[in-house]
Amino acid sequence: DLPNTITLANITHNTDSHTNIPPTLLPYLTRNLHLTPHHPISNTRQIIESLFPASTFARYNTLPPVVTVAQNFDCLGFPQDHVGRSRSDTYYVNKHTVLRTHTSAHQAEKFRTLENEGMEGYLISADVYRRDAIDKSHYPVFHQMEGARLFDRKGKSSGELVDEVLKDLEEMEVPNVEVVESCDLFEDGGNPVQIAKGHSVEEAEAVARHLQRQLELVVSKVFSEAALAVGDVNAAKEKVKVRWVSAYFPFTSPSYELEVLWNGEWLEVLGCGVIRQDLLDYAGRKGSIGWAFGLGIERIAMLMYGIPDIRLFWSADERFKGQFREGVVKRFEAFSKYPQCFKDVAFWVGEERGAGAAGGAGGVEGKGGEFHENDFMELVRGIGGDLVEDVKLIDEFTHPKSGRKSMCYRINYRSLERTLTNEEVDELQAKVRSQLEERMGVQLR
Ligand code: PHE
């Protein structure tokens, strides 16, 4: 029952056994919240962009979301067995084409073209797509901003390059942060490719310092805006507490995550690192060294405006949209909360010996009889859309005799805009139950 082609943003692609994009996702490909005037995602993008001089950092905000597997994974050094490549995590248009899962998919092509444009860096903002859980901070579509900065090292000694990078760092504004904790600049044993054929430790460290300084500036600005938004003028002047944590990305080494202390909690706000030299070389930039970072715009916007639920960004409700103005950060005022409605669904997964046909009815998800939680999440989203607030696994056990696994999920139905009727929720739940049987080949309990 899968059509032979799928049309995404006006371009028609062939489908195949990898295709797993539900029709309900299609309208999101043309929404462009990051370019919608006054929208908090667009405002947040602009605030962050304003911290990077336009003379150095080219802006790319309209790159289309359909990319090749090579762009999204291969060119970035993702190992063949990386979970990110699986059909349960990524939306495949077909075997060779995906909806980008991150803005890093555009790194190589932009590294290649930057030089001709006389630019040393870029900022890319775009919608990205991931199959994921359902809760207040996860949505299958969200927005990322990626930044990169390259330094020319042609005809320079290592010492000259290091001096130049550090001099540029000195000229940056001093960020209003307190670095509470910091991992080593160069991880030992880290990414073996980098260490084997990369740049020297001194060069990597200078670039890493530059990167950290730049991102501390971003965070200090964003979090003082957030404090001002709640009218806390004193907090806005205080130093933001941050920590640098060692991380792993296939395409950077060393790699870090930046965490920020916010309302007593350490929040991870971005990932970054020194670009793997072999990847820069492949992109035709042998003569350069550089850094890159990627951040989730929703995450930052939720903090800055105090937006409690990620679904709100997609709301057409004036009570949401009407609260935001370009150039002003004011805390979001929640409108009334409508009642929640919990429904549980329990089922057996896997074949029961002798039962035969389960899962054979052409359902995309159930193939192979393996249960993937993201397939279930997607099924629920396909039916309930934004009326589902979260889905939690509340019980799981294996039957001692049959060896079959039982799962019980609790679905929380709640609209952001109105009170749902019992009939309406019952109807949604009945659909979830029947599709679970038909498409995922599980047995309801
Ligand atoms: N693309 C990474 C992610 O989505 C973030 C990242 C970007 C990390 C650039 C390092 C450098 O998680």
Q: How far apart are CA 24 and CA 337, in angstroms?
A: 26
Distance 47 CA to ligand 1 centre (A): 20
The interface predicted TM-score of the complex, written ipTM, equals: 0.98
Distance 435 CA to ligand 1 centre (A): 35
- Give the number of the atom of ligand 1 that is nearest the alpha carbon of residue 104: 1
pLDDT at 359 over 50: no
Domain 31-65+100-321 adopts which CATH fold?
Answer: BirA Bifunctional Protein; domain 2 (3.30.930)
**Residues forming CATH 3.30.930.10 domain(s) in the chain:** 31-65+100-321
Q: What is the mean pLDDT of residues 119-135?
A: 97
pLDDT recorded at residue 385 = 96
pLDDT at 20 over 50: yes
> Which position has the higher pLDDT, 49 or 237?
49
Q: How far apart are CA 148 and CA 257, in angstroms?
A: 15
pLDDT recorded at residue 367 = 43
Q: 19: how many CB neighbours lie within 10 A of its CB?
A: 21
- The preferred substitution site among 76, 146, 187, 244 for testing ligand 1, maximizing ligand atoms within 8 Å of CB, is 146
Looking at the domain covering 341-444, what would its CATH class be? alpha beta
* Percent of the chain clearing pLDDT 70 (strictly above): 93
Torsion angle defined by CA atoms of residues 22, 68, 35 and 55, in that order, rounded to the nearest 10 degrees? 170
Residue indicated by tokens 């090579």 = 70
- Give the number of the atom of ligand 1 that is nearest the alpha carbon of residue 101: 4
225-251 b/e (C-beta count within 10 Å ≥ 16 → b): bbbbbeeeeeebeeebbbbbebbebbb
pLDDT recorded at residue 191 = 55
pLDDT at 308 over 70: yes
pLDDT recorded at residue 118 = 93
Distance 188 CA to ligand 1 centre (A): 21
pLDDT recorded at residue 350 = 80
Determine if the peptide bond prior to 400 is cis (ω within 30°).
Answer: no
391-419 b/e (C-beta count within 10 Å ≥ 16 → b): beeeeeeeeeeeebebbebebbbbbbbee
Distance 275 CA to ligand 1 centre (A): 11
Q: Alpha-carbon Rg of the chain, whole angstroms? A: 24
Q: How far apart are CA 357 and CA 354, in angstroms?
A: 9
User: How is the chain split among helix, strand and coil, in percent rounded to 5?
Assistant: 35, 30, 35
Closest-CA residue to 34 (of 48, 24, 46): 46
Q: What is the mean pLDDT of residues 207-230?
A: 91
The CA distances from residue 417 to 24, 414, 427, in Å, are: 20, 9, 19
Amino acid, single-letter form, for residue 152: D
Closest-CA residue to 92 (of 121, 69, 126, 58): 69
**Residues forming CATH 3.30.70.380 domain(s) in the chain:** 341-444
Closest-CA residue to 256 (of 203, 194, 209): 209
> Which position has the higher pLDDT, 188 or 114?
114
pLDDT in tens, 172-206: 999 999 999 898 887 665 555 555 567 888 899 99
pLDDT recorded at residue 357 = 41
Q: How far apart are CA 96 and CA 246, in angstroms?
A: 32
Residue indicated by tokens 């679904």 = 311
pLDDT in tens, 360-393: 333 344 444 689 999 999 999 999 999 999 999 9
Distance 248 CA to ligand 1 centre (A): 9
- Give the number of the atom of ligand 1 that is nearest the alpha carbon of residue 296: 4
pLDDT at 309 over 60: yes
Closest-CA residue to 102 (of 312, 276, 317, 271): 271
The CA distances from residue 200 to 165, 197, 205, 228, 254, in Å, are: 14, 9, 9, 42, 12
Q: What is the mean pLDDT of residues 251-267?
A: 91
User: DSSP of 349-378, one letter per residue?
Assistant: ESPPTTT--TT-SS-STTGGG---HHHHHH
pLDDT at 219 over 60: yes
pLDDT at 2 over 90: no
- Which residues contact ligand 1 via a Cβ below 6 A? 102, 104, 146, 249, 252, 271-273, 292-294
- Give the number of the atom of ligand 1 that is nearest the alpha carbon of residue 275: 11
CA 135 to chain centre: 14
